[in-house]
Structure 1
Amino acid sequence: MSAFDFMTRHRAEFDAIRHDLHAHPELGLEEHRTAGIVADKLTEWGIEVHRGIGRTGVVGVLRSGNGAGSIGLRADMDALPMQEDNTVSYRSTKPGLMHACGHDGHTTMLLAAARYLAETRSFDGTVNFIFQPGEEGVGGALAMLEDGLLERFPCDALFGMHNRPGLPVGQFAIRPGAAMAGGAFFDITIKGKGAHGARPEDSIDPVLVAGHLITALQTIVSRNLPHSDVAVLSITKMTGGDAYNIIPDTATLGGTVRCFDSAIMTRIRDLLERTATNIAEGFGARASLDFRLIFAPTVNDPVHTTAYADTAAELVGEANVDRHAEAVMGSEDFSFMLEKTPGAYILAGGGQGAAPHHPRYNFNDETTPYGAALYARLVERSLPRMAHD
């Protein structure tokens, strides 16, 4: 039985797992119930289980034959602090929390691949099933790495996958090199001098400084970087004061930076600090920058990208695999794992529906057999059994 046939035959079971995870979302580094279900399923299928890696991460280890090769497959488990607006029977049971990015589906696809490989053992070597917590900007990948993930479970290559609404089910998209942007969050705190709103001459108005900064910061990309250096800087929040007639002492700006090169990220950080400091000083105020790198650029190794795309083409046909997909400004903390071990990250078609991080998003269960079968076949092709086995 092929991997895809196996996934189709057991579709009802895998859908039930996904729906249960969807109904019980958990935030990053708090996925205790989810991790427990993952660990229990892996144990049930005879896979060696390691819990508590990076706080709530789980790694399943499956060995077959005597091969020395190893491969790592990674899925994320966390949900988002959002109120769900779907009416499905398995909608979130937790107010203010929902699986709005499809991590419930990613976890299910990897579990499905694990079950198939545990039953067939149709490979020679070691597979590490990596169930990562806290992908949504809270440092889950780094937490697992700091907990010795790749020293304890060495991998010759690492592979990940994300659903992509808008790409038809049964299609895949990938590209070599930089595939997803690195991402940083920043806060700028402006300290001035408060006063009555009727006497602005007594103040050093931090809100006025913030207004000038909002305009000036938009020139960092457009007036300092060549057009070939793709980057985005967005101011996404501003706070200052809580009364109509009081000029406050402080104001803050916050936002995000996205780009495909770590050197560009450093350049933008330096320009942010210089611009904020100089403009604030021009008004007699002071500004301080808190710049936090949350995601590194996701860079696909060319050799492993080709192997991933070849496997996908075997599964769905060459016409359904985009090998030169456009790089996207979204970010992914699997990038930190790819900095340590080469590998690749692919997008699996999710069909029509709301985009991730939307209150009406819902992972498409039709994607599960394709994603799970791709993981399974990738292992079989990467760690082939000898003919006499």
Structure 2
Amino acid sequence: MTTVTPDLLREWRHAFHRQPETAFEEHRTSARIIEILSEAGIEMVTGLGGGTGVVAWVDGRHDGDGAIGLRADIDALDVNEASDAPHASRIPGKMHACGHDGHTTMLLGAACCLAQSPDFAGRVYFIFQPAEENEGGGRVMVKEGLFERFPMQAVYGVHNWPGLPVGEAAVHDTTVMAAFDVFRLTLTGHGCHAAMPHLGKDVVLAACQLVNQLQGIVSRETPAHQTAVMSVTQFHAGDAYNVMPEAVELCGTVRCFDPELRQRLEARFKQAIEATATFHGLSADIDYQSRYPATFNSPDHAQRCADVLTALPDIRQVHRDLPPSMASEDFAFMLQQRPGAYIWLGNGENSAALHNPHYDFNDELSPLGVAYWCALVRTLLGQS
């Protein structure tokens, strides 16, 4: 059996951090997860979620037919790490900039602890999910039949939260994270010499106007009580000082919470592009993709999580009134299928932001995460 200690958790986490792997490429990460679970004598199914996902389970020593799922994301990001830490990424251009190395470590620790002391009734599933960042590994696992193959009544998730002190947590009754859409737009006109712009169709001018116009859809058409964000994050055009380019490409994201608003924003986005393109005599090619739904907790399950956190001796405060985040989370696909809750655990007041090249998961958080998972299981799957 594996004895879980803070030093062992740190060792696991640093090893994951040194070898980050991005969406659906988490082969080394998956292999290490399998190795740790195997050493603890835990049963599992591998090769899920496009090939790198793992679902393991532990049965309680007491009779019971209840079952819950605990989920951790395992993928990294395409970010160059700006750190001189001994455990810094050894893979150029990739790093664990969102703390999934820590999430994986906490769930592995909980699995090993519960396998060693299965003082509960029923079964707990441990879901190690690939490709949370942008590519929807949670959606893939659901489509593959996650909840049919591994029947569970509820499912739970955790994310570390920079700015919130270690020892504090946040639990939302309903809305936690925003829906996530992406777009790629190409405007095509007619290139010409920059000294004679009247001979061409200026895609740069049109694109600049469009970036400003799109903000009006949020600031002037979206009701003030409904939150939305529309951000152009990429602008690609031209190769020379004296050439008006033939085409420009814009990319970005749209986020909100309300499903009806989400549809309206997409419709108005496309109308604005068509109108701008027509006015400037351009053609427009729009690729608009709805990626993740908004993440909503079930209020009663959120309350159970809050009660468990409040009872933990190392949790000083459980926030129930923090605003939801405009970031997104594909755990939403699992919460569409089963009730449950997604909570935040503080990563430290001085932590760099998520997706920042200076970010690092706080190792002080790992034992707290393990304690939370174990307490949640023993509370929800008490002796029957």
Question: Does the pair score TM above 0.5?
Answer: yes
1:263-302 alignment runs, 5 A limit: 263-302=260-299
Are 1:303 and 2:303 counterparts?
no
Q: In 2, Cα distance between the equivalents of 1:9 and 1:17?
A: 11
> Counterpart of 2:71 in structure 1: which amino acid?
R
Greater mean alpha carbon deviation, residues 341-350 or residues 238-247:
238-247
Q: In 1, Cα distance between the equivalents of 2:259 and 2:144?
A: 24
What do the CA deviations read for 1:216-252 (whole angstroms, capped 9, x no partner)?
Answer: 1110111111101110111111112212222222111
- TM-score normalised over the length of structure 1: 0.94
Are 1:29 and 2:24 counterparts?
yes
Matched with 1:366 is 364
> Counterpart of 2:356 in structure 1: which amino acid?
H
**Once superposed, which parts of structure 1, at least 4 consecutive aligned residues long, lie more than 3 Å away?**
316-319
Deviation at 1:169, TM superposition (A): 0.9
Deviation at 1:25, TM superposition (A): 0.8
8 Å contact from structure 1 (residues 273, 288) kept in 2: no
Q: In 2, Cα distance between the equivalents of 1:85 and 1:171?
A: 27
8 Å contact from structure 1 (residues 276, 288) kept in 2: no
Q: In 1, Cα distance between the equivalents of 2:270 and 2:199?
A: 27
SS, match of residue 166 in structure 1: coil
Are 1:152 and 2:153 counterparts?
no
Matched with 1:321 is 318
- TM-score normalised over the length of structure 2: 0.96
> Counterpart of 2:363 in structure 1: which amino acid?
D
Q: In 2, Cα distance between the equivalents of 1:124 and 1:44?
A: 23
Matched with 1:4 is none
Matched with 1:345 is 342
What do the CA deviations read for 1:261-292 (whole angstroms, capped 9, x no partner)?
Answer: 22211111101000000111011112232111
Deviation at 1:14, TM superposition (A): 1.2
What do the CA deviations read for 1:78-115 (whole angstroms, capped 9, x no partner)?
Answer: 11111212112111111111111110000000001101
What do the CA deviations read for 1:174-212 (whole angstroms, capped 9, x no partner)?
Answer: 111111111111112112122222222221111111111
1:1-389 alignment runs, 5 A limit: 10-55=5-50, 56-64=52-60, 65-316=62-313, 320-351=317-348, 352-386=350-384
Greater mean alpha carbon deviation, residues 265-274 or residues 197-206:
197-206
> Counterpart of 1:36 in structure 2: which amino acid?
A
> Counterpart of 1:354 in structure 2: which amino acid?
A
> Counterpart of 1:209 in structure 2: which amino acid?
A
Q: In 2, Cα distance between the equivalents of 1:82 and 1:13?
A: 27
8 Å contact from structure 2 (residues 3, 113) kept in 1: no
SS, match of residue 101 in structure 2: helix
Deviation at 1:353, TM superposition (A): 2.0
Q: In 1, Cα distance between the equivalents of 2:312 and 2:112?
A: 19
SS, match of residue 36 in structure 2: helix
8 Å contact from structure 1 (residues 170, 316) kept in 2: no
> Counterpart of 1:243 in structure 2: which amino acid?
A
The structure-2 alpha-carbon separation of the partners of 1:318 and 1:91, relative to structure 1 and needing over 3 Å to count, comes to closer
Q: In 2, Cα distance between the equivalents of 1:84 and 1:143?
A: 28
Q: In 2, Cα distance between the equivalents of 1:46 and 1:319?
A: 34
8 Å contact from structure 2 (residues 167, 315) kept in 1: no
Deviation at 1:9, TM superposition (A): 6.5
SS, match of residue 158 in structure 2: strand
Deviation at 1:316, TM superposition (A): 3.8
Give the root-mean-square deviation of aligned CA atoms: 1.6
Q: In 2, Cα distance between the equivalents of 1:266 and 1:180?
A: 17
SS, match of residue 172 in structure 1: strand
Q: Which runs of no fewer than 5 residues in structure 2 stay unpaired?
A: none
Deviation at 1:8, TM superposition (A): 10
Determine what percentage of the aligned residue pairs are the same residue: 44
> Counterpart of 2:30 in structure 1: which amino acid?
A
Deviation at 1:324, TM superposition (A): 2.3
The structure-2 alpha-carbon separation of the partners of 1:317 and 1:32, relative to structure 1 and needing over 3 Å to count, comes to closer
Matched with 1:3 is none
> Counterpart of 2:335 in structure 1: which amino acid?
L
SS, match of residue 66 in structure 1: strand
Q: In 2, Cα distance between the equivalents of 1:304 and 1:215?
A: 42
